[in-house]
Structure 1
Amino acid sequence: MTGMADTPSFPRHSARTQRFTLGVPRAFSIAPDGSRIAFLRGKHGTDTATCLWVLDPATGEERLVADPVALLGGAGEELTDEEKARRERSRQGAAGIVGFAVDTEVRTAAFALSGRLFVADLTGGTAPAVRELPVPAGVADPRPNPAGTHVAYVAGGAMRVVGVDGGDDRALAEPESDTVTYGLAEFIAAEEMDRFRGYWWAPEGDRLFAERADSAPIQSWYIADPANPGRTPAEVRYPAAGTDNAKVSGVVLGLDGSRQDVHWEAASPYLTAVHWSSAGDPVLGLMNREQTRVTYALLDPDSGMVTMHSEESDPRWVDIFPGVPAWISGPDDGDVEYSASLVTIGAREGANRLLLDGEPLTPPELQVRAVLSVGEHGVQFTASADDPAEVHVFLASRDGVVRQLTETFGVHSAVFGADLAVVSSVVFAEPGTVSRVVRLDEDGDLKDLCTVRNVADVPELKLNATMVRLGGRALRGVLVLPNGHVAGTKLPVLLDPYGGPHAQRALAAHNSHLASQWLADQGFAVLVVDGRGTPGRGPEWDRAIHHDFAGPTLQDQVDALQAAAAENADLDLSRVAIRGWSYGGYLSALAALRRPDVFHAAVVGAPVTDWRLYDTCYTERYLGHPDFEEEVYRRNSIVVGTEPSDWAPQHRPMMVIHGLADDNVVAAHTLRLSSALLAAGRPHEMLPLSGVTHMTPQEVVAENLMLLQVDFLKRTLG
């Protein structure tokens, strides 16, 4: 990792480095013979032009394969609306080669750059390392087939394929209307299911399964740019809670021109996952609208018939986990052929457990988070044990022997291939990410081979933070104090949560707390707490917020604050503020409006203020369908129409911030809140961000935004 001359202020440095993630290696693909590892990384810690590299695991030597700046001749990228939307859904702020796909042997990589299609030779042979293929513009998500003979891609909503030599480019399926796409994940899948792809190659590479999505049923919303009134508002199809989703089906497309349409029962409209490997038939994850049942269904690619294999159900909701379903081949026992087993994750005995054909493979002491891969060693996965702040990598054999592969207090993940793995770790004690290449021996032990170079900038901010457990529910949190704080000096308190499902803030990850540290150094004690509903503590903890966002999540922040103050007398409970973005913004607004006895000011960023304006999948999972749960929505919304909802009579200052180009939490949320506050005679500050989406704004805006928040907090807390 490298430093930076004339280091700017922390907020600007953080924005410039995209929270110190630029220059961190990622997206590893390991060749099955262990001879090379392809990955992405910029050239330095402020380089947004992500490059494609290859590493020799035996020597640690790196080779630059594809430089986007050179490939574009220095010209800037031109992104289609589809690609912009894909990056927004995946919160991808970098540029250049932001993703790539490889064939089975990891000999050929394909990637899109500025809507053009490129293939790269990863072997270091004599042929040109990178070639552009002559295909229609607007390329998205190119993927070589397993054999490396063809590349599939999406352009103009059509599912297309081209020979790896650039010949025989053609459409396998073309959209029947301007609302239809083939091969792309629809909005709900990408935003709420973490499914960012929309097609999957057969293991033989002669055909593929593609999603067909028709957005015609979805209502149209219009997002204007008030700073440029001459521009036509952007039309987006947004599936708000209680309204129609896209109509999703599938199709099996052959390189020989064949087509087999695939449909499943209308009662399971959500396609959560697809797995197609040589170990078994294609498996589809299909979920009902209520999200109380996910069916793992087998697809016959010849007939298009879909039959149920197994299912998970819960009267509240079923969680979607990365990496499942997946087939694992049967054990090798000479001439005896064993059938494959289906790997899934489900709630059993109070824990999210790894399942093999429906039977638990992991003990109830582990909370499984994701399956990383399946192979001859067994199932590699991530999980937390007794501490949700830690995430470790584990290996489970088919006979139920589970081994923990990482130990350091931190958050770990890994990519596996052949007998190698790249283990990426962030820890609480030190900044940055360390990516180690290791070899797995026959017993599953790890032997270090080399480290993948990390060129991210090193933050100059020193972290003065302590991980804590607070109150009767042992709420996991991080207490951050100013550097140089003298014990006995009273400090105003700033809560800095996210607080909602899917995301944790109180993790054993150093860089995650740098923004909180900068705020603390402005004269605050900053408390970050994960309450009920956040991941890592099991299904009952997750489901404590069923039909009740407002109650448990807000109460846990209050309880944690009071417990922290009981343990540290320097926390001044007469001066308490809260700030947050997205769900954290919702939580901040709740705090100011419903608990002014505890909170004295709030910074409210991009809040959801009326859950009827948020999307179907997320909102209905937790609150139900608004047509049948009207009271649930009223109770959990900050505003209902333009009238205050359960507001306390005492008023607290609020700074409300929102990006006007946000297509996820649209600006209407904030505008309705402001109108309701005005109607109630409650003064507030409002900061509209022109041209800013739900993602972090650019460098100068990000710095000034932090400074304005600090100024507001100091003015209002005194």
Structure 2
Amino acid sequence: MKILRLPLFICLFTTLILSAQTKQITLNEIWDGTFSTKRMDVLHSMKNGQQYSVLNFDRNTRSTSIDIYDYKTLKKIKTLVNSSSINELNYFTDYTFSQDESKIILATNEESIYRRSTLGNYYVFDTNDKSITLISENRIQEPTFSPDGTKVAYGFENNLYIKDLITGGTTQITFDGEKNKIINGITDWVYEEEFAFVRAFEWNADSNKIAFIRFDETDVPEFSMDIYGTGLYQTQQVFKYPKAGEKNAVVSLHIYHLDTNKTIPVDVEKAYSDFYIPRIKWTNNPDILSAQYMNRHQNELDLWLINAETNTSNLALAEKDDAYISVTDNLTFLEDNSFIWTSEKDGYNHIYHYSKDGELINQVTKGNWEVTNYYGYNEKSNRIFYQSVENGSINRDVYSIKLNGRNKTRLTKSEGTNNASFSADFSYFINTFSSATTPPEYTLNSASSGNLIKSIKDNDVLSKKLSDYKTSKKEFSTINVNGNDLNMWMIKPADFDASKQYPLLMYQYSGPGSQQVANRWNNSNDYWYQHLAQQGYIIACVDGRGTGFKGAKFKKVTQNELGKYEVEDQIEAAKQLGALPYIDASRIGIWGWSYGGFMSSNALFKGNDVFKMAIAVAPVTSWRFYDTIYTERYMTTPQENPSGYDDNSPINHVNKLKGDYLLIHGSADDNVHLQNTMRLAEALIQADKPFEWAVYPDDNHSIYGGNTRLHLYKKMTTFINSKLGDKREKSKVNEVKKAEIKG
């Protein structure tokens, strides 16, 4: 009897294991939080360097708190503030410390305006006497402490104000702000989107001056969007949006002196009249302001040092490039006012050290690889901390190096994506690590050696949960296309059989400097690809020419020809993949979002002998419709480069469409306007080309909210199944659809 029971037990155990590993990932699970990861939210290193703060949310009490933890022990020391003990607000969603950390700005009732900008109600909490002060009865923008913590500057209705926390009084410092005309201290739409900042004002170190940028939008053309809502009549959102070749806002730099209550305009001797001011920053000298000026083509970048007392300026640094220059966020002034700068001037993004007069002291990092993040400089150890792709362009590691470029140390050990958050004194860092096989884990590490001190948080529960599902490995490789070794990943069905043939779905984004082939943990799309792999698809992604982290030459080859070389690479990659014995060359599809939608459209039209279907979500269909800063950076203006704009516009290639095409857009997309899809749809109609399309009412560029994202991916999945699915697998597809509906 014992001999008979043992095999039976093994058989039952094996059956349980196999069944546990064959659960199917459903579309509902992807967007209902089933596979969400644990995170550390709004971490701030306290100035003592030994503690950090975290924003925590208590689901039971529906309250938020700022909790202080010890780096060395990772134990919670105290709760600095809890919304449950404050009568004036039920919760807060963000926080900012004053420089001495005695006061905190708490944000509540925040409402998004565009991608980065918000309106909200803000309070100042005093950690000493536990008092709370409402900064303004109005919903305001970008409240910012003065360095001495006695004042808060903010924007309201396109003007700047200062709240005195000692007297309680408020001073208005600009008066000409007007919607769609003049903005003071807050960026316009195109600066916010393309230069990636909202607050266009800065306090000096002595808290007695504020530098700010003024935007005169008067002559910028307006764009309007219908907002359908739930009322009987639609409303309109009207805003200034400069399309390629059109007028930009006229920008000017000003310095407000609190001592005299006067605003002084700043002027520098530029070699160009049409310009941008993408960054301003005070030096350690409270009278010296730095400002980056850039010509409209964005291939000249000048760093000016401006004396606020004498209103004189000095050109400290000037860079030029045949294509374009990327604005740096890494300008760091040292105690002697020498400065650290990052630049691609040697062909790769690296760190440089300049004297206060702009003389090059030395190039700190060198090599055929890119610095991808700059964390800061520690005066005590004389070391710079940075992230780079030295260990392969799909990976990220954290390093330290002496200011003179010597004694480089790799601080992270695991291959994948590492990102650091350093303590204020650079004695510790919290490393966030993930890879294609490891969900995010947070660890405390020594900043001198990189050695692990303690584990803080992991996602082992998610890993265990995923072990119950039938998933496939993301395989990384390179593919030689048009003379270049391009990074690629591929996902095959878990039960892959090389003797069979599978349909192929390709995904790409392809925009300048972007990267989709990276060794990091899943996002929602990755789970969708696993879902498709379960249905018998192979999914692949290729980063073609123009993408990032492989040097300036590789990235900038697409200059003046967006959509030419990138599309050629996707078509050729598809041909090569289609030649593999296990891929059915007659069933190859491609999809993408935004720039990726522009690409997938062109790939289907120009590669009509390769691709059977394409999905384009929120695509640019002509760069003539997109904004000045982004488009002209890569294309100059349409007046200067009409063929570059038109030769690669999907609108001008609709007559080549042979396959199946699904076009999707949100009607309230303030970024890539619905105009793009409407003009392409009209061109398809006039060319008598059949296509499918969907417009999501009042959704922006991200197309999300409520049931929207799930509906979108169900639509795309159904389209893929109907166009690429094997007819012999129809019954299987129908069963999956039934399961989705039931779920």
Distance 1:514 1:676, change over 3 A: same
What is the CA distance between 1:691 and its match in structure 2? 1.4
TM superposition shift of 1:710: 1.0
String of CA shifts for 1:222-269, please: whole Å, max 9, x gaps.
101356661221101111100111222222223433422223446362
CA distance in 2, matches of 1:72, 1:519: 50
Kindly tell me: are residues 244 and 452 of structure 1, through their superposed partners in 2, closer, same or farther at Cα, counting changes over 3 Å?
Answer: farther
Query: Which residue in 2 is equivalent to 1:230?
Result: 233
Structure 2 residue matching 1:446: 3-state secondary structure: coil
Give the Cα–Cα distance (whole angstroms) in 2 for the partners of residues 279 and 404 of structure 1: 34
Matched position secondary structure for 2:384: strand
In the TM superposition, residue 60 of structure 1 has moved relative to its aligned partner by 1.3
Identify the residue that residue 623 of structure 1 maps to in structure 2: 635
Q: Which of 258, 262, 265 pairs up with 2:266?
A: 262
- Contact (CA 8 Å) 1:207, 1:252: kept in 2 or not? yes
Change (3 A) 1:701 1:155: same
Query: Are the equivalent residues in 1 in contact too, given 2:295–2:301 (CA < 8 A)?
Result: yes
DSSP 3-state at the match of 1:291:
coil
Q: What one-letter code is carried by the residue in structure 2 that aligns with 1:392? A: D
* Per-residue deviation, residues 364-420 of structure 1 (Å, max 9, x unmatched): 233122322233133222221262211222223221123322232222222332133
| 2:195 aligned residue | 193
Residue pair 1:112, 1:140 contacting (<8 A) in 2 also: no
Gaps of 5+ in 1: 1-6, 78-95, 330-338, 640-644
* 8 Å Cα contact 1:422/1:435 also seen in 2: no
After superposition, the Cα gap between the structure-2 partners of 1:451 and 1:279, relative to the gap in structure 1 and judged at 3 Å, is: farther
2:40 maps to 25
Between the two proteins, the alignment pairs up a number of residues equal to 667
Alpha-carbon distance change, 162 to 341 in structure 1, aligned in 2, over 3 angstroms: same
| Percent of residue pairs identical | 21
Q: Which residue does 1:345 correspond to in 2? A: 342
- Report if aligned partners of 1:365, 1:386 keep a CA contact under 8 Å in 2: no
What's the C-alpha RMSD, in Å, of the aligned pairs?
3.0
Separation of aligned partners in 2, 1:153 and 1:286: 24
Counterpart amino acid of residue 548 in structure 1: E
Which of 571, 574, 578 is equivalent to 2:586?
574
Q: 1:526 to 1:65 in 2, by over 3 A?
A: farther
Q: Distance in 2 between matches of 1:190 and 1:696?
A: 20
Please report how far the alpha carbon of residue 620 of structure 1 lies from its aligned counterpart in structure 2 after TM superposition. Answer: 0.6
Show the counterpart of 1:550.
Answer: 563
> Given the alignment, which residue of 389, 394, 410 partners 1:384?
389
User: Residue 656 of structure 1 corresponds to which residue in structure 2?
Assistant: 663
Q: Which has the larger radius of gyration?
A: 2
Q: Tell me how far apart the structure 2 counterparts of residues 110 and 423 of structure 1 sit (CA, whole Å).
A: 24
Offset at 1:14?
4.1
AA in 2 matched with 1:394: Y
Give the conservation status (yes or no) of the 8 Å contact 2:371–2:389: yes
Deviations 1:636-665 (A, max 9, x none): 2112xxxxx145635111111100010000
Gap change, CA 1:423 and 1:36, over 3 Å in 2: closer
Superposed displacement of residue 16, structure 1 = 4.5
Higher mean C-alpha displacement, 629-638 vs 250-259: 250-259
Q: Find the aligned partners of 1:608 and 1:379 in 2 and give their Cα distance.
A: 40
Equivalent residue letter for 2:595: Y
Distance of 2:593 and 2:61 partners within structure 1 = 26
Instruction: For 2:278, give the aligned amino acid.
Output: T
Structure 2: how far apart are the matches of 1:479 and 1:708? 23
Give me the TM-score of the superposition, normalised by structure 2: 0.83
The aligned counterpart of 1:332 is none
Aligned pair 1:466/2:475, yes or no? Answer: yes
The residue number in structure 2 matching 1:692 is 699
The Cα offsets for residues 475-496 of structure 1, whole Å up to 9 and x where unpaired, read as 1121012333344332110011
Indicate yes or no: 2:569 matched with 1:560: no
Alignment deviations for residues 292-328 of structure 1 (CA, whole Å, 9 cap, x no partner): 111111121224433211111102111223x322223
- State the alpha-carbon separation in 2 of the partners of residues 145 and 452 from structure 1: 34
Select 1:606's aligned residue among 596, 613, 618: 618
Q: Which residue of 2 aligns with 1:245?
A: 248
Task: Describe the shift of the 1:523–1:225 C-alpha distance in structure 2 as closer, same or farther (beyond 3 A).
Answer: farther
CA-CA distance at 1:140 after TM superposition: 1.5
Matched, 1:716 2:723: yes
* Distance (whole Å) between structure 1 residues aligned to residue 282 and residue 106 of structure 2: 21
Query: Matched residues in 1 for 2:458 and 2:201: separation?
Result: 32
Following the alignment from structure 1 to structure 2, what is the Cα–Cα distance between the partners of residues 18 and 270? 45
- Give the aligned partner of residue 357 of structure 2: none
C-alpha deviation, 1:452, in angstroms: 4.6
- TM-fit CA distance, 1:17: 4.6
Which residue in the other structure is 1:492 paired with? 503
Query: What are the residue-to-residue correspondences of 1:335-414 with 2, within 5 Å?
Result: 339-357=336-354, 358=360, 359-376=362-379, 377-385=382-390, 387-401=392-406, 402-414=408-420
Matches of 2:62 and 2:616 in 1, distance apart?
A: 29
The corresponding residue for 1:131 is 132
Task: Tell me: CA distance 1:134–1:32, structure 2 relative to 1, closer, same or farther (3 Å).
Answer: closer
Please name the residue that 2:108 is paired with: 113
The letter of the residue matching 1:223 is M
For residue 51 of structure 2, what is the amino acid of its counterpart?
R
| Conservation of the 8 A alpha-carbon contact between 2:283 and 2:290 | no
2: CA distance, partners of 1:455 / 1:210: 43
Partner SS for 1:672: helix
Q: Deviations over 1:195-239 (max 9, x none)?
A: 233222212233222222222221111101356661221101111
After superposition, residues 638-653 of structure 1 pair within 5 angstroms as: 638-639=650-651, 645-647=652-654, 649-653=656-660
Tell me the amino acid that sits aligned with residue 633 of structure 1: Y
What pairs up with 1:67-86 in 2 under 5 angstroms? none
CA contact (8 A) 2:123 2:135 kept: no
Equivalent of 2:430 in 417, 423, 435: 423
What is the CA-CA distance between 1:48 and the residue it aligns to?
A: 11
Answer with 286-295 or 496-505: which moved more: 496-505
* Further displaced range: 207-216 or 500-509: 207-216
CA positional deviation for 1:163:
3.3
The whole-number CA distance in structure 2 between the counterparts of 1:50 and 1:506 is: 37
Contact map agreement 2:513 2:555 (CA 8 A) in 1:
no
Instruction: Describe the superposition over 1:621-649 as per-residue Cα deviations: whole angstroms up to 9, x where unpaired.
Output: 1111111111111112112xxxxx14563
Q: Contact 2:567–2:602 (CA<8 Å) still a contact in 1?
A: yes
Distance 1:457 1:301 in 2: 56
- The change in CA–CA distance for 1:405 and 1:267 in structure 2 (over 3 A counts) is farther
Distance 1:50 1:433, change over 3 A: farther
Q: Does 1:590 align with 2:585?
A: no
Inter-partner Cα distance in structure 2 for 1:117 and 1:294: 36
Q: Deviations over 1:5-63 (max 9, x none)?
A: xx997544444459836x5224432222124323445557x999986443222331345
Structure 1 residue 597, shift from structure 2 partner: 0.8
CA 1:525 to 1:166, structure 2 compared with 1: closer, same or farther past 3 Å? farther
**Comparing both chains, which one has the higher relative contact order based on Cα–Cα distances under 8 Å and sequence gaps of 6 or more?**
1
